[in-house]
Amino acid sequence: MKALPGAVALASLFCWELTLAADPGAGKSPLTGVEGLLTTLMGLLFVLALIFAAAWLVKRLGHLPLPGKGMVRVLGGVSVGTRERVVVVQVEDARLVLGVCPGRVQTLHVLPAVSEFQRSLDDETKAGSRTHP
């Protein structure tokens, strides 16, 4: 965000210079030689700065949570063929075992919901395995 005000100032300066250069009443001769080359180079640098600023914004804002995201989580999966997979998916409290192949998704099994006790037990088991190598 620190570079954004500088980029805006540079853009406004560049636009101001272009309006002065394009004004026929200013009494200036057409841009030729070194002056024309510098103006063209400034325009190119301005466009490149805009592209980089847009890419930076997309990178910064691309990780924002979207509405509706997070309802379905893929817990794991394994490939069982060249184009077939078995995937475990969690939707709210239900866990589903799905068979996925091109053009088709089929429910293979519905696993029971994980209780809060089981979750805390799993968390404690993972935490214990980290402290004891």
The predicted pLDDT at position 74 comes to 85
Q: Is 93 left (phi over 0), alpha (psi -120 to 50) or beta?
A: alpha
**48 located within any domain:** yes
The predicted pLDDT at position 9 comes to 62
**127 located within any domain:** yes
pTM: 0.39
CA 45 to chain centroid: 25
**66 located within any domain:** no
> What would the 3-class secondary structure string for the chain be?
CCHHHHHHHHHHHHHHHHHHHHCHHHCCCCCCHHHHHHHHHHHHHHHHHHHHHHHHHHHHHCCCCCCCCCCEEEEEEEECCCCCEEEEEEECCEEEEEEEECCEEEEEEEECCCCHHHHHHHHHHHHHHHHCC
Which residues lie below 8 Å from residue 31, measured CB to CB, with a gap of 6+?
21, 39
Are 76 and 123 part of one and the same domain? Answer: yes
**67 located within any domain:** no
Residue ranges making up the domain that contains 85: 72-131
9 by Cβ neighbours in 10 Å (0-12 / 13-18 / 19+) ranks as exposed
Give me the number of domains the chain comprises. Answer: 2
Instruction: Report mean pLDDT in 10-residue bins for the chain, 133 residues.
Output: 59 63 57 82 95 89 65 87 91 88 92 71 68 51
**16 located within any domain:** yes
**92 located within any domain:** yes
The predicted pLDDT at position 58 comes to 85
The predicted pLDDT at position 98 comes to 95
**47 located within any domain:** yes
Are 82 and 127 part of one and the same domain? Answer: yes
**126 located within any domain:** yes
